[in-house]
Chain A
Amino acid sequence: MTMKIFVPRDATAVAVGADEVVAAFAQTAEKRGLPIEIVRTGSRGLHWLEPMVEVATLKGRVAYGPVSSEDVASVFESMASNGPHALRLGVADEIPWLKRQTRLTFARCGVIDPRSLEDYRAHGGYKGLERALSLGSDAILAEVTASGLRGRGGAGFPTGIKWKTVAQAKADRKFIVCNADEGDSGTFADRMIMEGDPFLVIEGMTTAGITVGATKGYIYIRSEYPHAVEAMKAAIIAARRGGYLGDKIGGSTTSFDMEVRVGAGAYVCGEETSLLESLEGRRGLVRAKPPLPAHHGLFGKPTVINNVLSFAAIPFILAEGAKAYADFGMGRSRGTMPIQLAGNIRQGGLFETAFGVTLGELVDDIGGGTFTGRPVRAVQVGGPLGAYFPRALFDAPFDYEAFAARDGLIGHGGIVVFDDSVDMRKQARFAMEFCAIESCGKCTPCRIGSTRGVETIEKIIRGDRVSENLALVEDLCNTMKFGSLCALGGFTPYPVLSALKHFREDFIPAPTTLQAAE
């Protein structure tokens, strides 16, 4: 019997040797004269176990990890004989870290072959679109609104309201734009879903298209993600061939097609209006709002612009109904959030769960603390524009409002863990420096403020009039927060002010005898 082996082609797995593992399996199989079939999947998200390899058995898929090419010969032996192995993790679906998740969006990621439309359909793909086509625009809008889905890019705006605005707009052309410019450090959920389940994103965008009356979609992917670009392009071709993109999609009377556009290394293009400018072929300068993209978006036409994860949540909502989604979560944060555990963390990866899990559970329990073994001192939540949280705030539940109440944001759901060797002055300085590098330059608080911020924090680091300069940084942060045109300048104060507030001891120099003498 042919042994069926699954190895991720996800960039994370490839970066730690998945391609070499595949080559080693092919070699071993040939040497042993045993036929094997290798399926390249996405990643299940247990990144500390990557490359995680699975083999199909009668009891389900049995996982091994982390497998290096040197381990392959013995792992192969264990697979062929169903024998023990030090790297054997048991049936993949039963691994506790996976089992305790609520995988609505990532249900198929790491399971199916992302290049195969048939595999996608066999695992429930396109059920949502089929139902959407039978429902019609108003009923779809009602479902999306009732699901409580909010924009997963970070802003948390209700998706149903956004779609309704575009549906009601009158225009000769409308567009669907998917924001796949996932530039936040500590986030990789968009990348994983594009690489591991690209048809899901296509299905979500197509559903948006039929809902609002748009026939053309663009997915804007950052250039740092070549694997995702390749996966999305391949999936679009396959969807077209299968009748799910192009004229008369899924046998209906509606048409929708889409294409991939690649960014060029500008972080600010993750801001929706900057992204639209970039798609139009211009410098990624942020536009003043209003007018909203829903009225005046791409090429001046009404445009739905959503994050990858927002579109990816849609097929489940349509297939299973709004209630099935809204039953998860807390307060006004309904459904699930794919949370990304990163940085100095023992068990890093993707953990999808209902809103409401606490930061402490995520970092200490699920993440297992730091890989250096030192105590966790700070975690940055929500990317370079997110606040640094101390352990004292680890009781915060993962929820839009709860984080806002603690002067933070959940952003795109990335959590970067730092141990006690972190120098928070350095992190505060970096936040300003990053803003200075990436500022589009259109508004003064962001363009000039960030550079002045770097200079002032450097003075503090040098011990130059510390309390005066600390006050100046706080004042500058307020100017940036309230005076900037978009979230880049407006949110850079979050990491800076949170570092100042929660880690004040790093900024105040220890009193020296010289100062005491003065």
Chain B
Amino acid sequence: MTAVYEPRYEPWDETRGAEIIAEHAKQEGATLVILHALQEAFGYVPEAAIPMVAQALNLSRAEVHGVFTFYHDFRHKPAGRHVLKLCRAEACQAAGGDALAARAEAKLGVSLGNTTADDRVTLEPIYCLGLCSTAPSAMLDGRLVGRLDEKRIDALVAEAQR
């Protein structure tokens, strides 16, 4: 059996944040690299980190905020304990993805882009995992699953709710 991916993040800590920023700040065009590193450590990019990144890179706070908000990947608050991403692009639509997405929404009681009230599952759309020949596909906390059908989506939802 595949191990269940259990993302473990550190709680936000300014000193640790500063360390991460300093580690990458010398690279050319480091903004995205740093935002990725912060999110990898803390599970999101805390508001307090934005001015720290700005200062390290000699940018304005607005510039860093602008970059942070432009990209779909970056979160301003932690996601649910598990993140279930459903591919919603054309290849998955052609293979019955619409009905499966609706089924997952109904089972979880949230629409795509939202987190369940108990903070267990964040359900998100993703525009193409590149598994278009074994569609429909999904990703649960970094684990890829292809050839989804009703049974498999139900199992994924159940696993995410655990």
List A residues at the B interface (Cβ < 8 Å): 11-12, 14-16, 19-20, 23, 47-48, 50, 182-188, 191, 223-227, 261-267, 278-284, 299, 340-345, 348-350, 371, 380, 384, 414, 416-419, 422, 427, 430, 434, 437-438, 440
Q: In the assembled complex, which residues on chain B have CB atoms less than 8 Å from the CB atom of A16?
A: 134, 146-147
A-B contact pairs, 5 of them (CB 8 A): A12-B133, A223-B73, A265-B72, A342-B133, A348-B133
Pick the most buried of B29, B35, B70, B132: most chain A CB atoms within 10 A of its CB: B132
Further contacts, 14 of them, CB under 8 A, given A279-B29, A427-B90: A14-B144, A15-B131, A15-B134, A15-B147, A16-B147, A20-B2, A182-B130, A183-B128, A186-B89, A263-B32, A264-B72, A266-B72, A280-B28, A341-B133
Q: In the assembled complex, which residues on chain B have CB atoms less than 8 Å from the CB atom of A437?
A: 127
State which of B10-18, B76-84, B92-100, B115-123 sits at the interface with chain A.
B92-100
Cβ–Cβ contact B144 & A283, under 8 A: no
The docked-state distance in angstroms from the alpha carbon of A224 to that of B83 is: 14
Please judge, given known A-B contacts A266-B71, A279-B29, A283-B70, whether A380 and B131 are in contact too, CB under 8 Å.
Answer: no
Please judge, given known A-B contacts A20-B2, A342-B135, whether A187 and B130 are in contact too, CB under 8 Å.
Answer: yes
Please judge, given known A-B contacts A50-B134, A264-B35, whether A343 and B128 are in contact too, CB under 8 Å.
Answer: no
The docked-state distance in angstroms from the alpha carbon of A375 to that of B59 is: 56
- Closest Cβ of chain B: how far from A54's Cβ, in Å? 19
Please judge, given known A-B contacts A224-B129, A343-B132, whether A15 and B145 are in contact too, CB under 8 Å.
Answer: yes
The docked-state distance in angstroms from the alpha carbon of A327 to that of B134 is: 33
Tell me the nearest residue of chain B to A342, going by C-beta.
Answer: B132
In the complex, the 4 A-B pairs of residues with the closest C-beta atoms, listed nearest first: A348-B133, A185-B89, A281-B31, A342-B132
The docked-state distance in angstroms from the alpha carbon of A342 to that of B93 is: 11
- Closest Cβ of chain A: how far from B119's Cβ, in Å? 22
Please judge, given known A-B contacts A185-B132, A224-B126, whether A266 and B70 are in contact too, CB under 8 Å.
Answer: yes
Cβ–Cβ contact A284 & B70, under 8 A: yes
Q: In the assembled complex, which residues on chain B have CB atoms less than 8 Å from the CB atom of A183?
A: 127-128
Please judge, given known A-B contacts A183-B128, A427-B90, whether A281 and B30 are in contact too, CB under 8 Å.
Answer: yes
Tell me the nearest residue of chain A to B85, going by C-beta.
Answer: A224
Q: In the assembled complex, which residues on chain A have CB atoms less than 8 Å from the CB atom of B29?
A: 261, 279-282, 299
Cβ–Cβ contact B91 & A416, under 8 A: yes
Cβ–Cβ contact A281 & B67, under 8 A: yes
Pick the most buried of A264, A284, A440: most chain B CB atoms within 10 A of its CB: A264
- Closest Cβ of chain B: how far from A282's Cβ, in Å? 6
Residue among A12, A350, A417 making CB contact with B146, cutoff 8 Å: A12
Cβ–Cβ contact B71 & A340, under 8 A: no
B106 CB–A CB distance under 8 Å: no
Q: In the assembled complex, which residues on chain B have CB atoms less than 8 Å from the CB atom of A281?
A: 29-33, 57, 67
Pick the most buried of A11, A265, A280, A342: most chain B CB atoms within 10 A of its CB: A342
The docked-state distance in angstroms from the alpha carbon of A414 to that of B95 is: 15
List B residues at the A interface (Cβ < 8 Å): 1-2, 28-33, 35-36, 57, 63, 66-67, 70-74, 89-96, 126-135, 137, 142, 144-147
Q: How many A-B residue pairs have CB under 8 A?
A: 153
Pick the most buried of B31, B128, B137: most chain A CB atoms within 10 A of its CB: B128
Tell me the nearest residue of chain A to B69, going by C-beta.
Answer: A283
Which DSSP category, helix, strand, loop or mixed, fits chain A's interface? mixed
The docked-state distance in angstroms from the alpha carbon of A183 to that of B127 is: 7
Cβ–Cβ contact B142 & A261, under 8 A: no
Cβ–Cβ contact B144 & A343, under 8 A: no
The docked-state distance in angstroms from the alpha carbon of A434 to that of B33 is: 26
Please judge, given known A-B contacts A262-B36, A264-B32, A281-B67, whether A384 and B133 are in contact too, CB under 8 Å.
Answer: no
Cβ–Cβ contact A48 & B133, under 8 A: yes
The docked-state distance in angstroms from the alpha carbon of A186 to that of B36 is: 27
Q: In the assembled complex, which residues on chain A have CB atoms less than 8 Å from the CB atom of B89?
A: 185-186, 384, 434
Cβ–Cβ contact B133 & A380, under 8 A: no
The docked-state distance in angstroms from the alpha carbon of A374 to that of B96 is: 13
Q: In the assembled complex, which residues on chain A have CB atoms less than 8 Å from the CB atom of B132?
A: 185-188, 340, 342-343, 348, 414, 416
Cβ–Cβ contact B133 & A417, under 8 A: no
Cβ–Cβ contact B133 & A188, under 8 A: yes
- Closest Cβ of chain B: how far from A180's Cβ, in Å? 11
Please judge, given known A-B contacts A15-B144, A280-B29, whether A191 and B35 are in contact too, CB under 8 Å.
Answer: no
- Closest Cβ of chain A: how far from B96's Cβ, in Å? 8
The docked-state distance in angstroms from the alpha carbon of A505 to that of B8 is: 52
Residue among A48, A265, A299 making CB contact with B71, cutoff 8 Å: A265
- Closest Cβ of chain A: how far from B133's Cβ, in Å? 3
- Closest Cβ of chain B: how far from A368's Cβ, in Å? 12
Tell me the nearest residue of chain A to B132, going by C-beta.
Answer: A342
The docked-state distance in angstroms from the alpha carbon of A343 to that of B2 is: 26
Q: In the assembled complex, which residues on chain A have CB atoms less than 8 Å from the CB atom of B70?
A: 266, 283-284, 440
Tell me the nearest residue of chain A to B34, going by C-beta.
Answer: A281
The docked-state distance in angstroms from the alpha carbon of A450 to that of B138 is: 27
Q: In the assembled complex, which residues on chain B have CB atoms less than 8 Å from the CB atom of A341?
A: 133
The docked-state distance in angstroms from the alpha carbon of A54 to that of B126 is: 33
- Closest Cβ of chain B: how far from A467's Cβ, in Å? 27
Residue among A11, A422, A434 making CB contact with B127, cutoff 8 Å: A434
Tell me the nearest residue of chain A to B1, going by C-beta.
Answer: A20
- Closest Cβ of chain A: how far from B91's Cβ, in Å? 4
Cβ–Cβ contact B127 & A185, under 8 A: yes
Tell me the nearest residue of chain B to A434, going by C-beta.
Answer: B127
The docked-state distance in angstroms from the alpha carbon of A267 to that of B29 is: 19
Q: In the assembled complex, which residues on chain A have CB atoms less than 8 Å from the CB atom of B67?
A: 281-283
- Closest Cβ of chain A: how far from B49's Cβ, in Å? 15
Please judge, given known A-B contacts A19-B2, A278-B32, A299-B28, whether A226 and B131 are in contact too, CB under 8 Å.
Answer: no
- Closest Cβ of chain A: how far from B90's Cβ, in Å? 4
Cβ–Cβ contact B36 & A188, under 8 A: no
The docked-state distance in angstroms from the alpha carbon of A16 to that of B145 is: 6
Residue among A12, A225, A263, A265 making CB contact with B134, cutoff 8 Å: A12
Pick the most buried of B74, B94, B133: most chain A CB atoms within 10 A of its CB: B133
Cβ–Cβ contact A185 & B133, under 8 A: no
